Amino acid sequence: MKKLNEFLNKHSKFGEIFIRIMLGFHLIYGTQDNVFSWDRMLEFSSFLEGFGFPFPIVSAVVSVYAQFFCGIMYIVGFHVRVAALIMVLNFIVAIIMVHIGDSYPGMFPAIVMLAGSLYLLFNGSKVLSIK
């Protein structure tokens, strides 16, 4: 057990990669349909309009492209703290505007994205990143 602990401590900086890949993949996966289909973007705009977002089409485009590109930035490790700040703001708005009053399981993905983005905001990217 001691050797395992030594190994894990020596390589602890690599743990962030798993967080970056998971968050990045989820962001890209969740928005790629809107990026590549205007009809899906319009559906998302209608969804946001139902929750009282101002300028729903602008809100949809900004949120979708921010998530898509920040997902890429997380994975490649490019300006991770900037991407994390953008995602923290995005998911705070999502939680307040859409998920307040939602069930915990319904709110969970947004909470995880917020928590992971806060981790990356405070810790940045230490390995396998493009600076």
Which burial class, exposed, middle or buried, applies to 9 when counting CB atoms under 10 A from its CB (0-12, 13-18, 19+)?
exposed
Query: What is the rounded distance in angstroms from the CA atom of residue 5 to the CA atom of residue 95?
Result: 37
Q: Which residues lie below 8 Å from residue 97, measured CB to CB, with a gap of 6+?
A: 51, 52, 53
| Residue 91 and residue 67 in contact, taking contact as beta carbons nearer than 8 Å | no
pTM of the model: 0.91
| Residue 131 and residue 81 in contact, taking contact as beta carbons nearer than 8 Å | no
pLDDT of 8 reads: 87
Q: What is the pLDDT of residues 100-122, one digit of tens each?
A: 999 999 999 999 999 999 999 99
pLDDT of 11 reads: 85
**Alpha helix positions (H), the chain:** 2-10, 15-36, 38-50, 56-76, 80-94, 104-123
